[in-house]
Structure 1
């Protein structure tokens, strides 16, 4: 349990720190004064004053913050956040999420570098499964399925349904010769899905790992946005939402499968943090970006008191949602 808590704190802390570091870099690029960049929260354990920024390490290892001049106050002096143009402020606000997306790509690229990128060549064809019975063997390369050329393992997965029995016309290559086989998927009791019984060979390469990391990040992002859409339209239940308590439990389970599985989980959490932060929900960066766009359209800033009240209400609603999610997490643990 202690190991799980330490790993969870490290993952959450690291992802929040790189988020705040994104704001820090964007502020520096935009020539906004960063008063303090802190790792952790609570009482200061160590601090060093730089030329323009105070760097501090705080007692509670739960994230950090980037404090900019004029960010939360009516300050339009030189070097303040408010004194900058609209595009600069949007860039600074979005930079945290951008850094989390970048972190997701890095983590997933490392995962694929370690385990290899799946190819269309087969490393394993399971005996007594449809593909083996049709004559396909390890080392064969899948060329097309039902007349559609496949060049990635994901295209193979997309071509084969796992929720119903179907027959596929598979063209595969062995050495220089092409063969054709009719393969009917079979229900696998162990995995609870329909399979033909093949697994891909993997190859490791620097550029292919980065490409796969980017592709997987986009795939995860599309899935997350679709899930948010389902929640908004009522097609998905809020009972399925998971908060920090639930994630700690998942971290503990994932850690049993090793570093690669943990890195993949950290990547998913990082991308969740990025997308959630960009949502137009009051108190989040996405909402503040929306207010800048409103300012752009109407030609003048939104009344600071009204904007502050909206963010306060939004924060209160977020806290209520957090309590609700934590309650569901506890029920799931029991």
Structure 2
């Protein structure tokens, strides 16, 4: 149960903030947002507020913001179609009922001759007296069909009607908010826990290890290695790992006195690579200065961004294997393991995943945010957008490929963790 709660918290938070980025910038651009969804599949919970339906859906594998003009919900009124409608005080249609059998107070009926429900907003047809009449349609008119209500979207409130810049920032805002979320999480960790100093202070010496034989003790502060100053434990660790079987000289401060010790790292194999180890653990020390929390948030986010990009470069340049990828099952297992080490560690994991989601969504692959941004760049260079039919085909193929990859990765995760 704890693992499930941890997974829902972490994955739900990063998906929510990703979609929140799209949502906020869509609203600022004047785009009608029909639905803000966390998850895919059947709806578990839905709340309608204003023109937007906020939903939580069954499958916690992502989310979406459905924008007007970026979907297939346009209603077309064909000639000869009989509709019911109600009018406001300005004789504008405020509700248009496609079901002829439904009756509403003050409902009028019309046999459609012509209609324009995007730019000019009017309906023309024959009334009960067989007179040809025309009514304007209110910008917030509700269309009801088979029990489903949809607010019309005037063309100027659709995604495609907006400038290239507004469309681009609306799409880019999703990954951007993932990076912002990571920064905020690391800043919070910096305030609550303090900034890790990575001070090269020995917390434990493993019995019978090379360090124990060489005379290292707990609370020894490492000051140098092979004559070079050491400020952080990583500096020492890099030299030790790179010197299997080779004697190194380490300077320490013990009880206020300088000492010099010689040790030969033991050769061990880690991930099929031979590295050196001497058998010491460093102490976790933290700087409680709150002024350092904000730069720490940016530094940690940048560090994770660089590391993930490096991994992607390795994958693209020939190191791709399914084992290098994880789907929801793999993330669930990893989150379960991380949750055992406390809430702060779980937050750090959430920040790292948020950076990862932001980067992955920026890849120029169809059906991802990066794919759409690539099409916008094509539009900028060419001077006009790609044909909608071609764009639809590209997006469909890209989405299908992503689904196939997701199934393959998920199956691989299941085999790794459960068989």
TM bucket, shorter chain = 0.7 to 0.9
Encode CA deviations 1:109-153: one digit per residue, 9 max, x unaligned: 444543751332515251655556656555554344334444334
Encode CA deviations 1:5-54: one digit per residue, 9 max, x unaligned: 3432332222111110011222234443333334455337342423xx42
Encode CA deviations 1:221-279: one digit per residue, 9 max, x unaligned: 22322222222222242233221122222223333333233323322322221111111
Are 2:171 and 1:93 aligned?
Answer: yes
Given that 1:239 and 1:328 are in contact with CA atoms closer than 8 Å, whether structure 2 keeps it comes out as yes
Partner of 2:196: 117
Partner of 2:359: 275
Give the 3-state SS of the residue equivalent to 1:65 in structure 2: strand
Moved more, 299-308 or 218-227: 218-227
State the alpha-carbon separation in 2 of the partners of residues 93 and 110 from structure 1.
27
Give the 3-state SS of the residue equivalent to 1:70 in structure 2: coil
Structure with larger RCO (C-alpha < 8 A, sep 6+): 1
When normalised by structure 2's length, the TM-score is 0.68
Are 2:45 and 1:45 aligned?
Answer: yes
State the alpha-carbon separation in 1 of the partners of residues 395 and 270 from structure 2.
49
Instruction: Indicate the structure with greater helix content.
Output: 1
Partner of 1:60: 58
Partner of 1:70: 69
Taking structure 1 as reference, are residues 170 and 308 closer, same or farther at Cα in structure 2, changes over 3 Å only? same
Taking structure 1 as reference, are residues 33 and 165 closer, same or farther at Cα in structure 2, changes over 3 Å only? farther
Partner of 1:250: 334
Q: Which has the larger radius of gyration?
A: 2
Moved more, 287-296 or 141-150: 141-150
Given that 1:13 and 1:61 are in contact with CA atoms closer than 8 Å, whether structure 2 keeps it comes out as no
Are 2:27 and 1:33 aligned?
Answer: no
Encode CA deviations 1:155-185: one digit per residue, 9 max, x unaligned: 3433431683343343445687655444432
Taking structure 1 as reference, are residues 188 and 32 closer, same or farther at Cα in structure 2, changes over 3 Å only? same
Taking structure 1 as reference, are residues 304 and 122 closer, same or farther at Cα in structure 2, changes over 3 Å only? same
State the alpha-carbon separation in 1 of the partners of residues 30 and 317 from structure 2.
42
Instruction: Output the aligned Cα RMSD.
Output: 3.4
Taking structure 1 as reference, are residues 326 and 40 closer, same or farther at Cα in structure 2, changes over 3 Å only? closer
State the alpha-carbon separation in 2 of the partners of residues 212 and 163 from structure 1.
31
Q: Which runs of 5+ in 2 are unaligned?
A: 75-117, 119-153
Partner of 2:380: 296
Are 2:366 and 1:285 aligned?
Answer: no
Give the 3-state SS of the residue equivalent to 1:300 in structure 2: coil
Partner of 1:126: 205
Shift of 1:98: 1.4
Instruction: Indicate the structure with greater strand content.
Output: 2
State the alpha-carbon separation in 1 of the partners of residues 224 and 64 from structure 2.
51
Q: Which runs of 5+ in 1 are unaligned?
A: none
Taking structure 1 as reference, are residues 237 and 77 closer, same or farther at Cα in structure 2, changes over 3 Å only? same
State the alpha-carbon separation in 1 of the partners of residues 6 and 196 from structure 2.
27
